[in-house]
Amino acid sequence: MSNASIKFSDVSVGDELPGLNVPLTPAVIVGGAIASRDFTPVHHDKSAAQGQGLNDVIMNILTTNGYVGRYVTDWAGPDAVVKEVSIRLGAPNMPGDTMKMSGTVVAASDGVVEVQVVGKNAWGNHVDGTVSVALKAGD
Average pLDDT of the residues of the chain: 95
Supply the pTM of this predicted model. 0.93
- Each residue of 32-73: pLDDT tens digit? 999 999 999 999 999 999 999 999 999 999 999 999 999 999
Enumerate residues 6+ apart whose C-beta is below 8 A from 86: 129, 130, 131
Show the beta-strand stretches assigned E in 42-123: 81-89, 97-109, 112-121
Strands 16-24 and 97-109: antiparallel
pLDDT of amino acid 4: 83
Q: Is the Cβ–Cβ distance between 70 and 87 less than 8 Å?
A: no
CA–CA separation, 33 and 68 (whole Å): 15
Which domains does the chain show, CATH number per domain? 8-134 (3.10.129.10)
Measured over the CA atoms of residue 98, residue 14, residue 129 and residue 110, the dihedral's sign is: positive
* Of 32, 49, 94, 104, residue with least CA distance to 71: 104
The span from the CA of 6 to the CA of 4, in Å, is 7
Q: Render pLDDT for 18-27 as a digit per residue (tens, 0 to 9).
A: 999 999 999 9
